[in-house]
């Protein structure tokens, strides 16, 4: 997924098995802004090779901090993901028995210290 840093556009994960973002350097914190902030699913940490390095962590619509701002025409929200050790990105998977529906507006990683 590429980020155009435009809050008026978003990616769409409809009909995908997963969506992932890999950074060029290790990160410790990831900020994800999402159109609607009403989706659920699982997150997985990724290693430098872009493959999962840990189990899945569930998230729900209640995980998102509701901002009140509109992203791509819908009220959105944000999620802060903090890694216990440096990671190279995240994979977003669908909830059990349902399609992936997350629509990220922006995914930004803060370099690991």
Residue bearing the bigger pLDDT, 59 or 113: 59
Between 3 and 102, the more confident residue is 102
CA distances (Å), origin 29, targets 32, 80, 87, 97, 100: 10, 7, 9, 29, 23
pLDDT at 2 over 50: no
Is residue 9 pLDDT above 70, yes or no? no
According to DSSP, the β-strands at 65-71 and 57-59 are: unpaired
Mean pLDDT in residue range 30-59:
94
Residue with structure tokens 């290693």? 47
Q: What is the pLDDT of residue 105?
A: 85
What's the whole-number average pLDDT of the chain?
88
The tens digit of pLDDT for each residue in 47-85 reads 999 999 989 999 999 999 997 888 878 888 999 999 999
51 within 8 A of 44, measured Cβ to Cβ: no
* Entry pTM: 0.87
Higher-confidence position of 40 and 73: 40
């Amino acid at each position: 997924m590429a980020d155009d840093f435009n809050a008026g556009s978003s990616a769409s994960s409809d009909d995908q098995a997963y969506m992932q973002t890999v950074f060029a350097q290790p990160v410790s914190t990831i900020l994800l802004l999402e159109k609607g902030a009403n989706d659920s699913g699982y997150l997985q940490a990724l290693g430098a090779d872009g493959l999962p390095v840990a189990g899945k962590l569930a998230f729900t619509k209640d995980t998102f901090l509701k901002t009140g701002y509109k992203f791509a025409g819908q009220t959105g929200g944000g999620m802060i993901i903090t890694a216990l050790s440096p990671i190279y990105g995240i994979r977003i998977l669908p909830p059990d028995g349902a399609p992936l529906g997350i629509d990220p507006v922006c995914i930004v990683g803060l370099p690991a210290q």
